[in-house]
Structure 1
Amino acid sequence: MQFDDLLLRFFGTTDMDAIAPAAREAGVERMRVEFGLERDPAKRFVIWALLAMNDAEPDLDIAFENEAEREAARNPLDLVISARED
């Protein structure tokens, strides 16, 4: 999964600054659906990370079934939270 491909798939553009609020909302909803259907852990993580970039990620306890997956997600989550605070 390439980042630009995901942006195109969910938002119709590769420029995150150009995403209109309604398009962002619709894209986030599509990501949530796809996240719930996806079974591949790596793909789930990428979708979860993109959700986190849009302040829409599900809680780790809900998003990932086992502790190893939750722990792997904590580092990028900390980066996202830090970026939000800046």
Structure 2
Amino acid sequence: MDLDALLLHYFDTDEPEALSEAERARGEERLRIDFGVEQEPSRKFALWVVMEGLGIAPLPAEAFDEEPALRVAAEKYLDAAWKLERD
């Protein structure tokens, strides 16, 4: 998945920091809804990563409670991101 394409799809821009609070809230709501109904595992994970980047992702245990492999992948993603941020 292409990050710019996802941002354009949900926020009508590839620069979400330039959005008004209301515009950002609408895009985030659309993203949450699509995440909640997505059935394809890799697409669901990609949507979660976008949500994580925006600071709105649920914890891996909540996001992937019925998908242990995705939960583990999300936890590893967070560990790697934390290590990069720390270093």
The answer, yes or no, to whether TM exceeds 0.5 is yes
8 Å contact from structure 1 (residues 53, 80) kept in 2: no
Aligned to 1:27: 27
TM-score, normalization: structure 2? 0.82
**1:66 paired to 2:67:** yes
After superposition, the Cα gap between the structure-2 partners of 1:25 and 1:82, relative to the gap in structure 1 and judged at 3 Å, is farther
Computed over aligned residues only, the root mean square deviation of the Cα atoms, in angstroms, reads 2.2
Task: Kindly state the Cα deviation for residue 9 of structure 1 after the two structures are TM-superposed.
Answer: 0.6
Gap runs ≥5 in structure 1: none
Task: Kindly state the Cα deviation for residue 54 of structure 1 after the two structures are TM-superposed.
Answer: 1.4
Distance 2:12 2:69 in 1: 33
Q: How many residues align?
A: 85
The 5 Å alignment of 1:1-86 reads: 1-64=1-64, 65-78=66-79, 79=81, 83=85
Distance 1:34 1:44 in 2: 8
Q: Which runs of 4+ in 1 moved over 3 A?
A: 80-83
The share of aligned pairs that are identical, in percent, is 36
The letter of the residue matching 2:5 is D
Distance 2:6 2:58 in 1: 18
**What's the secondary structure of 1:13's corresponding residue?**
coil
CA shift digits 1:1-27 (9 cap, x unpaired): 211110001111012332222211111
